[in-house]
Amino acid sequence: MTIYDVSVPISNQLPVWPGDPAIEVTRTGKMEEGSPVNVSQLRMGTHTGTHIDPPFHFLPDGCKVDELPLERLIGPAWLADCRGTREVTREVLAQASIPGDVTRLLLLTDNSAIWENPTHEFDRGFVDIAVSGAEWMVERGIQLVAIDYMSADNIDDENGPAHHVLLPNDVLIIENVDLRHVPPNQCYELICLPLKVQHGDGAPARVVLRTIENVFSTA
């Protein structure tokens, strides 16, 4: 069994979405300065680092992060290889040999290479999910999708069209997973545990993938 930690490390240098709160990790208690313990203060937005978008992120009456059923966040998932494309479209997904009974889908794109440097400047040219790709997921019964950069949507479209297809159809979105070292086109157990932020519009999460026997049908 192999366990892959696909969460990005939170630090003061980690890039955030433009306009989101900056990350502040500050040591407030230092043993080397006489404190009996080491203690830090952490300030950041709810969509910092590896995180989950519940429906409430875009829908005023949507499910909040502390209301998410954990069984949706833990279970078999498929890692699809979508590298070599600027946008994850319907056509890209149709050609990715994704088994028909997959409900949790992870997308390995060229974004993951960005995480070679976790303190890089925000990359505006990241691969996003096209509306047609989001519609394909809804039609296929996908309940959760993960992508390897900060948003499912292009930064130049403030309306969030992919979010507005996925979230109203109860497709949860995990963003900022680092899939560089995970072999694609196979089944894993996904474990995504977001912070239980009361009434939260999102929350940072520790996300891991564990190798398991394939439970899906052929594509």
Give catalytic residues, as residue numbers. Answer: 57
Burial class of residue 191, CB neighbours in 10 A (0-12, 13-18, 19+)? middle
37, 31 contact by CB (below 8 A): yes
- The Cα–Cα gap between 197 and 20 comes to 17
The radius of gyration computed from the CA coordinates of the chain, to the nearest angstrom, equals 17
Contact 205, 194 (CB under 8 A): yes
> Residue 208 in contact with residue 7, Cβ under 8 Å?
yes
Bridge-based pairing state of the strands 3-5 and 203-211: antiparallel
